[in-house]
Structure 1
């Protein structure tokens, strides 16, 4: 249990870093170069991890890296930027908050990992909490922005589940580095064709790209894929709800924004949804069910006394009742 809790903490590094990435991008990076921004974010991060892992792709990983890099990095980064330009941040965040449910369904279909009731409950409560935190009233919502946000969410969820299915024989750092490099290579020609020459970089831009590359990409994606390797997809997806939570809390601490009562209720619900998806919650639920199945105190003694009382042969059938030793969940 302690080991699982440590992996939850490791996984939480990713959505927290991604939550801070919004602020860093808006404050320090060039505004109108999304493709270059995504390429500079992915490619150096992949090369950095490759220096640590020191392993090149082999066999099927040449094409797997390209597929996963496109889903998790290049297409995802570009669609996220597009949705951020076309939608209010609150709406885009609420759409992305549904990713835990999508990840559970995809894991069920591709990994035969049936979603647990606590995970589904946590996803519903967590999404409701995110909606309370971010929904600020009636806003204009365009179909292109909604489609871009939904596509980003579905692609990243699919990439996460496929990475879990394909990565059993490869260490996390190597597979993450290959995906980032492949995603960056895919982005570069599109950036040159669409956005022209690379943007000039000043001191703040260099600092911003350094943070985005090292913390919000290399470290975050390594932690995310490590969590997918050791935890159920439902648990990892719910931990991802820390992304919008971080954005809201960062706005209050740095931008001086004030949390409303509605946002505080949303934060509480979101944290409750995250907690319901953790291993400790499943263990507690199993413990409660186990106590409910136990006989009352003294019940076994009374039953034994009745069995050896008047009229008893003293040779009652001591075989366990049918199903008493069956695994939980079987009929």
Structure 2
């Protein structure tokens, strides 16, 4: 029971901090790509220090794993950039809910790696989630900011889902910290070409927020999340993880006074509920 409580404490702390990460899309006055690069490199520096202090091994087990880490890192960097873009364009609640379509995408991606077909229940869940997405979109016009945000969020979800499937299929032998260490470096490098601001012109307040985002809101929750998996079942972790958009939207309301509309709440409830149900079925 003590281990379970410890795992739940790690997990809820990680999910709450991950939810707070969304706030930086609005708190930092920089483009999404710029935020992603700084976030990646700060997180890598912090995780490297943590691993060295714990005297954890840093090497990779096979040469092939280096290539897979590079692919995972590229997907992670593009996921972070598109996720922040979604929230900057459409608001935190819409961006987070749209991104949370990734669990159902994993359901359809995993068969490609394991050689079996999706079940009928999975297809039904996907259709229900699609209905939730339709509720998020005010009009099917890319000139609309919310529609743009939903599209960015779904793209971010697809990138995240593919990265997670690759991670689970090929890199199960590595801790969350080790994976983020290598993938964080690649994530930052991949997104650098899209950076538009001069690093020397970033003001002190923005720089402080970037360091806070990378250290406290990226490195720390990933470490907590990895530790929670030592004490809890993967299904439990997935179900509780569905609270992340709820935490994020609540924090956005409290900190930024960003109030989601009823269609966002309804669509979000359908999407998050379907994700939780699919996780329970798994």
* TM-score w.r.t. length of structure 1: 0.63
Is the aligned partner of 1:176 residue 2:180? yes
- Corresponding position of 1:197: 198
For 1:37, which of 28, 35, 38 is the aligned residue?
A: 35
3-state SS, counterpart of residue 199 of structure 2:
coil
In our comparison, the structure showing a higher alpha carbon Rg is 1
RMSD: 4.3
- Corresponding position of 1:306: none
3-state SS, counterpart of residue 168 of structure 1:
coil
* Residues 244-268 of structure 1, C-alpha deviations (whole Å, 9 max, x = no match): 2123211333345678888887787
* Separation (CA, whole Å) in 2 of partners of 1:131 and 1:231: 33
Question: How much does 1:156 deviate?
Answer: 0.6
Is the aligned partner of 1:103 residue 2:109? no
* Residues 122-150 of structure 1, C-alpha deviations (whole Å, 9 max, x = no match): 88888878988xx4955854576555433
Is the aligned partner of 1:160 residue 2:198? no
- Corresponding position of 1:249: 250
Q: Which structure has the higher relative contact order (CA within 8 Å, separation 6+)? A: 2
* Residues 279-314 of structure 1, C-alpha deviations (whole Å, 9 max, x = no match): 7x99xxxxxxxxxxxxxxxxxxxxxxxxxxxxxxxx
Question: How much does 1:179 deviate?
Answer: 0.9
* TM-score w.r.t. length of structure 2: 0.71
* Residues 79-128 of structure 1, C-alpha deviations (whole Å, 9 max, x = no match): 22443455465554443222111122223442579989999998888887
8 Å Cα contact 2:238-2:276 kept in structure 1 = no
3-state SS, counterpart of residue 60 of structure 1:
helix
Change (3 A) 1:71 1:208: same
* Separation (CA, whole Å) in 2 of partners of 1:175 and 1:154: 19
* Separation (CA, whole Å) in 2 of partners of 1:30 and 1:78: 14
Question: How much does 1:239 deviate?
Answer: 3.9
* Separation (CA, whole Å) in 1 of partners of 2:85 and 2:178: 29
* Separation (CA, whole Å) in 2 of partners of 1:7 and 1:198: 39
Which structure: greater helix fraction? Answer: 2
8 Å Cα contact 1:38-1:184 kept in structure 2 = yes
Q: Which moved more, 1:10-19 or 1:178-187?
A: 10-19
Question: How much does 1:152 deviate?
Answer: 1.6
Structure 1 unmatched ranges of 5 or more:
283-331
- Corresponding position of 1:77: 80
Q: Superposition pairs for residues 16-27 of structure 1, below 5 Å?
A: 16-27=16-27
* Separation (CA, whole Å) in 2 of partners of 1:257 and 1:196: 27
